[in-house]
Amino acid sequence: MFSSLSDSLDKSFRNLRGVGKISEKNITDALRDIRIALLEADVEFGVAKELIARVKDASMGEEVLKSIKPGEQIVKLFQDELTRVLGGDNVPLDLNPPARILMVGLNGAGKTTTSAKLARRLQKEGRRPLLVACDLYRPAAVDQLVTLAGQVNVPVFAPERGETDVIKVAREAISFGEREGATVLIFDTAGRQEIDEKLIKELIELNKFLQPKETLLVADAATGQQAVSVATHFDEAVGITGIVLTKLDGDARGGAALSMREVTGKPIKYAGEGEKLDQLIEFHPSRMADRILGMGDIVSMVESVADKVNEEDAMRSMKRMQEGKFDFNDFLDQMKMIQNLGPLEGLLGLMPGFNKIKKQLPAGALDTSKLKKTEAIVLSMTPQERARPEIIKASRRQRIAAGSGTSMQQVNQLIKQFAEMRKMMKNPGKMKNMMKAMGGGGPMGDMMKGLGGNPFGGKGGKGGKFPF
């Protein structure tokens, strides 16, 4: 999301780092470029102006001007200021009983999906959430929430069709939640294309009745300059306690994240980074500042992987690898594990300097959809063939190719690569060099390279590219 802003900031800071002595002129020139980059990223004008002014004042301090590496000092000052603008420290939800969360925002921001994501997250934390459908205007809004609730296995209170009294719905939902033993109630409310009096009046009445511990504004990260007025209107009406940014994985320029927090003074508590119901992350200002500056976010990367990878399954696969028992069943499990991690670009984007590396990758290098072709080949094998790949002779390979919609050549390449990989795993000396091989030639290198370029054929290490 912040790629264009990160690129512009990197260029400005690179110019400063190359200067042996910092003066007021080159600081002013660099900060002017940074201000333009912030405005192009849809950061509200007043926010950009204040941020630059504070960085400039700090940059002109004697400690910076006389330091050995003044350029790096200024980068650190900007990083600190960016963290402050984004909110400083992570602010958790207030879930003291009665824990009621009111979700507000415009149509299309993703309130209903975010409500389900939040319910799933709270459930994993040991809470007992209840989703409440309070959007009585949008066609199929109630049905959508019911469907999403089923996907995350969370109970939902849905009003009868034709119901228009949102206070009555809320009252009945509270009674229902008490009977069901729910510890957190999440109210999904109606939105509009634009803020209007009817919407605000209904929210004020509902807010007054519920007295929620949290009123979260769900805002599309691509909202741009309008984000400030939207956040201000909702805050003045119902007193929002926090913000949830959605579609942070899209092409939005990122200004909304900087602007809303600074203008409203309310923390960004969560961010949605994908369409899957497990893709809601806690918003950490310092981590986001690092991402904007191209420094990556290794902590979030590790948390994401840990949340989606079954440790027992991973350890079992590793043990089978070490014992030389790794077969196509294990390989299938590994592919599913990779797919569960979501888009590779989003995950690897948390690595420091990845934006620079990404530009050098071949087209389609991060497209995990190629895994589907390999998966189809493996699924076309019988259980016996997956467990004993050595029995897959010509006639079996023809059947597998026909069943998977691939060619004999593709099936042959997969089986050959797999055999070479198993051979390497049985050799302790080669196992020690596996990480090195992943970056170079050989079968493991080919597998990693297979993520890019032509998935079936082309030049690679010895044996051609791995077909996925």
Q: Tell me the binding residues.
A: 105-112, 188-192, 246-249
Residues annotated in a binding site for GTP:
105-112, 188-192, 246-249
- CA–CA distance, 194 with 196 (Å, rounded to integer): 6
Q: How far is CA 207 from the centre of its chain?
A: 30
Q: Do residues 135 and 110 make contact, with C-beta atoms less than 8 angstroms apart? A: no
Angle in degrees, 0-180, between the axes of helices 255-264 and 45-59, rounded to the nearest 10: 90
In the chain, the amino acid numbered 337 is M
Nearest-CA neighbor of 131 among 117, 240, 279?
Answer: 117
How many angstroms separate the CA atoms of 160 and 405, rounded?
48
CA distance linking residue 371 with residue 392, whole number of Å: 21
**DSSP at 97:** S
Strand locations in 190-320, DSSP E?
214-220, 242-246, 268-272, 280-282
Q: In three state form, how does the secondary structure of 108-141 look?
A: CCCHHHHHHHHHHHHHHCCCCEEEEEECCCCCCH
Backbone angles phi, psi at 103, to 5 degrees: -100, 120
Would you list the DSSP string of 10-64? HHHHHHHHT-SS--HHHHHHHHHHHHHHHHHTT--HHHHHHHHHHHHHHHTSHHH
Return the half-sphere exposure (C-beta side, CA atoms, 13 A cut-off) of residue 441.
6
CA distance 357 to 7: 12
Q: What is the DSSP letter of 160?
A: P
Say how far apart CA 152 and CA 133 lie, in whole Å.
Answer: 15
159 close to 142: Cβ distance less than 8 angstroms? yes
Sign of the alpha-carbon dihedral angle for 172, 176, 177, 179: positive
